[in-house]
Amino acid sequence: MVTSSDFGQFETAWCPGCGNHAILKAVKEALAGMDKQPRDVCLVSGIGQAAKTPHYMLCNLFNGLHGRALPVATGIKLANPGLDVIAESGDGCMYGEGGNHFLAAVRRNINLTLLVHNNQIYGLTKGQASPTTATGQTTKAQPHGAYSAPFAPLSTALSLGAGFVARGFSGMTEHLVSLIQTAVRHPGFALVDILQPCVSFNKVNTHSWYKERCTELDDSHDAGDWEAAMRLSMQWGETIPVGILYQNTDRGPFEGHFPQLEPGPLADNSPSLTTLESIMQTYA
Amino acid sequence: MDDITLCIGGEAGQGLDTMGQLLAKSLIRSGYEILVSQNYMSRIRGGHNTFSIRTCTSPLLGPGDEIHILAAFTQESIDLHQDQLAKRHLILTSEELGSKNTLDALLPVPFQQLTDQKILHNVAALGCLCGILGLLPDIGAGVVRSAFGSKDQDLAQKNLDAFHNGLNWVRERIEDAWHLPSVSPPESGSRLMLAASQAVALGAMSAGVNFCSFYPMTPATGVALNLAAHDQELGCVVEQAEDELSAVNMAVGASFAGAVPIVPTSGGGFALMGEGISLAGMTETPVTLVLAQRPGPATGLPTRTEQSDLELALYSGHGEFPRAVMAPGTPEECFYLTRKAVDLAQRYQTPTIVLTDQFLADSYRAVPAFDLHNLSPVAQPDTSAFPQDYVRFASTASGVSPRALPGYGPALVVADSDEHTQEGHITESGEVRTGMVDKRRRKEDGLRQETAAPEYSGPDSPDVLLLCWGSSKGAVMEAARICSESGMRVGTLHFSQVWPLDPAQFEDRLRQAGLVVAVESNAGAQFAALIRRQTGFAVQASILRYDGRPLSASYILPRLNPLIKEQTNGHEQ
Ligand SMILES: Cc1ncc(C[n+]2csc(CCOP(=O)(O)OP(=O)(O)O)c2C)c(N)n1
Ligand code: SF4
């Protein structure tokens, strides 16, 4: 049996009270709870405070460039679909610098789990507005308030045909564990946008701010109802719905479209000389 | 008649490219040498495009200058090429078109009579050209059948009819003066028709490449298309990424997990890939990029040629990391050097780059089929199970660390874009940093020892040495040959690998020549500057072309002759 401690225990560089701690704990518990071996998991991140998460875990990991976790994760999954690939980074990394990759990954429906630590601010670069910062919120870089409308990850993903869209909150760890597990089991692209306080730089969206608002979805919500999911995804105010907004497995995962992946990972594939000969002859 | 240049001219959308390719293939299957150069505008329909084939019984170096046979599909193509026509020439055209020059030898073809479908005019013209050149009808028909036969029998028959009608019509009207010297057709399948895109793709296939991520950009797209055409048989995943940033990062991810990747792009896309190339350098992930050059800056001349991205390839990516840069001069070199680039990337766990360009990408030639059984092996990812105490970036004398793949054993594989410890974890220690930089730099020493020596041809200590790299090889060698035939002492030094350089391989050649002239398709003599940085040797003169057109002997010679004269006068004093 795998336990949470099989995924390691490290000292982190995060501020005390930061939501990242709880998310890290939830990821480890989720994977251990599913009996995943560290060697079968590959965590991929970009750059930021959230993106350091893989370094605090024992498993395969690729900590790449700012914004580029999803392309790297896509490449890994295509090369070896047997690995459980989890992309994990901040809202700036995934929705800002990596925005185009986010759109493409949803559309591809590659079988990845995307965990976005959404603290509505840039943490590592010390508090500038992120794509999810509320309009009007002031920061040192936006002293007159952020002018842009905030990016809406859940409704954007839904509008692009995402098959799994969920919202979590770092303060509801047990619930988050089950969200992550369902996301990992989902055969296709699974987004879990995780609300998370940044105690150092986001003085508006604090732990208690989220706690007062985040409300678990109950059984009355049908996760197969796209229109209901769309309405919930846009609900952002006194109550913020948390849970699986939408799940649909109609579209097969992207990597399933490649018969060349059926025999196994690409590293084990090499064409025979006869095949190469016959291809070469098409140029004769 | 030997050494004939045929030029097919007309609008985009008239099927000239298909016709040119079929004719080129017929010539190759008949046993002749060919060299194709293409000229097209950045538009899908209209405009004026040409597909030129120089053909001969002996090997060809560069494109021809004079046109012997012009197959003109528009009035514009007759008018535009008037000045390039050889004294003895033939203009094959349709009945509605004509020439203002009464001396022109016109052959107006009644295409409507030969085929009732306008889209088959090109195949009828192909028949005419095969007849004019005296090719065996079976060979041309075989090429037409293999081009159309697999899709639809009815379509194939219509094409064959048009072909034969053209062939028969022309045979009754043209004497055999245009016939190429007869040669015996080679064994079927022994010769390939390849330009850079095909040759790079074949080289990649033969090297075990099984992952290609790309974002379309002329003239690089062909590499991906050639891999996509065979993806399932090959077991190769080809993915059109959302942009170049994704393409290169996807390849890095795939490679991390054990795929053997190739990423084709052109200058604009390569510029975007810089950060990802740097990532491959830092994470020591093998990745091979193909940079098919075209004129810049920015979008430049999208469908024309240039060799101006050498410095981009050399300095792409921030920070310091080892790389190898290949610059093949012919389709054959494209095959072998792509293999080598993939092999070096695998063995040194670092990015490697193959530089081609639009001229090479469109320049079909006859290449002997490769003996796939006797190629030197290319390194493949190690799929063994590494132990649990494995560390990814172990310091070694060569700088190369044993590379495990995730999921292949108890070893956990850790990679980081930040500076890292031998275990792969983030560090800010100055000592570890210095050690890691040194480790990565040691790989460059190994790479340097594997650099192919430049190819020299000519007399010892020539009066003039022409220095070139990449695709200008043929034009430069042809110019040198013409000079040598008139008694001048001219040598050529061609670099098919431009980084790392090993001065010991060529410095003497430079110092022993009377005058060294760099011949490059760029305005900055970028390679000459690199030579100076590496050796301190200052190339004395240069012949540069940057109007978007390929270098040719006829461009080089008038600029070279005064330099030679000056140089040889100097000798006599
Ligand atoms: C190309 C590039 N641009 C900018 C940066 C600097 N940078 C590092 S992290 C970061 C923002 C991180 O914000 P977010 O993704 O929200 O993560 P958080 O730190 O809040 O967890 C930026 C702009 C970088 N590393 N690379
Ligand atoms: S700066 Fe914010 S996001 Fe970063 S560790 Fe501190 S609290 Fe967490």
Q: Does the beta carbon of A123 sit less than 6 angstroms from any atom of ligand 2?
A: yes
Give the 3-state DSSP-derived string for B305-367, with helices as H, strands as E and coil as C.
CCCCCHHHHHHCCCCCCCCEEECCCCHHHHHHHHHHHHHHHHHHCCEEEEEEEHHHHHCCEEE
Tell me the best of A11, A133, A198, A203 to mutate to test the pocket of ligand 2, counting ligand atoms within 8 Å of each CB and taking the most: A198
Q: Out of B190, B205, B412, name the one closest to residue A39 (CB).
A: B412
Of the residues A6, A63, A72, the best mutation for testing chain B's interface (the one with the most B CB atoms within 10 Å of its CB) is A72
Q: Which residues of B touch A283 (CB under 8 A)?
A: 192-194, 198, 202
**pLDDT at res. A30:** 98
Q: Cβ distance B407 to A82 under 8 Å?
A: yes
- pLDDT of B350 > 80? The answer is yes
pLDDT of the residue at B447: 98
> Mean pLDDT, to the nearest integer, of A149-175?
98
E strand residue ranges, B454-496: 455-457, 464-469, 490-495
- List, in order, residues 6 or more apart from B500 with CB less than 8 Å away: B322, B324, B444, B447, B448, B451
Q: Is the pLDDT of residue A258 over 60?
A: yes
For range B395-411, the mean pLDDT: 97
Chain A: nearest CA to B557, how far in angstroms?
Answer: 35
φ, ψ for residue A181, nearest 5 deg: -65, -45
Minimum Cα–Cα distance from A107: chain B residue: B242
* Ramachandran category for residue B157: left, alpha or beta (phi over 0 → left; psi -120 to 50 → alpha): alpha
Q: Which ligand is nearest to the CA of A120?
A: 1
pLDDT in tens, A261-272: 999 999 998 899
Q: How far apart are CA B183 and CA A44, in angstroms?
A: 60
A20 CA to middle of ligand 2, Å? 8
What pLDDT score does B480 carry? 97
Joined together, the tokens standing for residue B442 give 């040691």
Phi/psi for B207 (5° steps) reads -90, 0
Q: What is the average pLDDT score of chain B?
A: 95
Q: What is the pTM of this model?
A: 0.96
What single-letter DSSP state applies at residue B420? B
Rounded average pLDDT over A158-177 = 98
Q: What is the pLDDT of residue B569?
A: 79
Q: Which residue type occupies A63?
A: N
Tokens coding B90: 């033939």
Residue A101 CA to residue A257 CA, distance in Å, equals 20
The overall average pLDDT reported for chain A is 97
- How far does residue A123's CA lie from ligand 2's centre (Å)? 5
B65-116, pLDDT tens digit by residue?
Answer: 899 999 999 999 999 998 899 999 999 999 888 777 777 788 999 999 999 9
The yes/no answer to whether this complex scores an ipTM above 0.90 is: yes
Confidence of residue B571 (pLDDT cuts 50, 70, 90): low
CA of A74 to the centre of ligand 2 (A): 28
- What are the DSSP E strand ranges found in A170-228? 190-195, 214-216
Q: Look at residue B155 and give its three-state secondary structure.
A: helix
Write the secondary structure of A52-87 as one string of H (helix), E (strand) and C (coil). Answer: HHHHHCCCEEEECCCCCHHHHHHHHHHHCCCCEEEE
Beta bridge partners of A113: A86, A190
Q: Using only C-alpha atoms, what is the Rg of chain A?
A: 20
Nearest CA to ligand 1 atom 23: A125
Q: How far apart are CA B573 and CA B565, in angstroms?
A: 13
| Nearby residues of A70 by Cβ (< 8 Å), 6 or more positions away | A87, A94, A98, A101, A102, A104, A105, A112, A114, B246
Nearest alpha-carbon partner for A239 in A217, A218, A214: A214
Which of A65, A94, A189, A255 to mutate against chain B (most B CBs within 10 Å)?
A65
Element spanning B70, H or E: strand B67-72
3-state secondary structure of A89: strand
Per-residue pLDDT for B572 more than 60?
Answer: no
A-chain residue closest to B425, CA distance: A55
CA distance B289 to B286: 10
Reported in sequence order, the residue ranges of chain A that DSSP labels E, i.e. its strands, are: 41-45, 60-63, 84-90, 113-118, 164-169, 190-195, 214-216, 240-247
Region of poorest pLDDT, from A21-30, A220-229, B35-44, B209-218: B35-44
> Distance, in angstroms, between B198 CA and closest chain A CA?
8
Please write the tens of the pLDDT for every residue from B493-511: 999 999 999 999 999 999 9
Where are the alpha helices (H) located in A68-196, listed in sequence order?
A: 69-79, 91, 99-108, 153-159, 173-185
Banded pLDDT at B170 (limits 50, 70, 90): very high
Q: How far is the CA of A122 from the centre of ligand 2 (A)?
A: 9
CB contact at 8 A, A86 and A57 = no
At a CB cut-off of 8 Å and minimum separation 6, what does B369 contact?
A280, A281, A284, B189, B190, B191, B192
Whole-number pLDDT of residue B567:
87
Confidence of residue B12 (pLDDT cuts 50, 70, 90): confident
- Contact call for B252 and A83, based on CB within 8 A: no
Chain B contact set for A282 (CB, 8 A): 229-230
* pLDDT, position B573: 44
The pLDDT tens digits for B298-341 are 999 999 999 999 999 999 999 999 999 999 999 999 999 999 99
Q: Which residues of B touch A103 (CB under 8 A)?
A: 242
Ligand 2 centroid distance, CA of B534 (Å) = 47
Non-local (6+) Cβ contacts of B374 within 8 A are none
Q: For A161-170, B11-20, B333-342, B381-390, which range has the lowest pLDDT when averaged over its residues?
A: B11-20
What is the biggest distance separating any 2 CA atoms in chain A, rounded to whole angstroms? Answer: 71
Torsion of CA A128, A132, A136, A138, to 10 degrees: -20
